[in-house]
Amino acid sequence: MSFEDQVNGVGQELDELAEALQDFRLSVHGWSEAVYSRPRSSQSGTAVAPARRRSWRLAAGWALGCVLVAGSLSGGGLYEHRQQQMRIAAERVAEQQRLAAQEMARQEEEDLLAKVDSDVSRQVPSAMEPLAQLMTGDVSQ
């Protein structure tokens, strides 16, 4: 093959490549325009698959929604239950504290009364005992 033939061959190949690329571009443009301007619901050839996909998506969406609702409800119930438990525990602690305080007050009161009693019932000091005896004697006379 001569150099000229080789050059011609390469030239022809490049022309073919350029033409193929041009046709490829036109095809992609045509395809895109057709898909872009075509209403999605009227795609006869591919309408079934997207519709099926949509129904699956819808079903999956509903299922997920139900799971989330159930989860949030049960989660909410659990939260409510926890709150109630905590309220009861708090009330129990408050009651115990109240009883302890009452007991303490009662104890203090008793101590005070005991002290008063002991003060009131205290014997006459020994230095005053002769006088007391006299008083006793006067009364007996």
Q: Which residues contribute to the site for another protein (CB under 8 A)?
A: 13, 16-17, 19-21, 23-36, 46, 49-50, 53
Task: Select 52 or 87, whichever has its Cβ closest to another protein.
Answer: 52
Integer Cα distance of 86 and 79 in angstroms: 10
- Specify the amino acid at residue 79: Y
Answer positive or negative: Cα dihedral of 8, 13, 17, 22: positive
* Residue 22 C-beta: closest distance to another protein, Å: 9
* Residue 4 C-beta: closest distance to another protein, Å: 20
Look at residues 68, 38, 64 and name the one whose alpha carbon lies nearest to residue 50: 38
Task: Select 19 or 109, whichever has its Cβ closest to another protein.
Answer: 19
Task: Select 33 or 109, whichever has its Cβ closest to another protein.
Answer: 33
* Residue 84 C-beta: closest distance to another protein, Å: 43
Q: What are 48's two structure tokens?
A: 């079934």
For residues 43 and 50, is the Cβ–Cβ distance under 8 A? yes
* Residue 59 C-beta: closest distance to another protein, Å: 17
Element (H, E) at 39: none
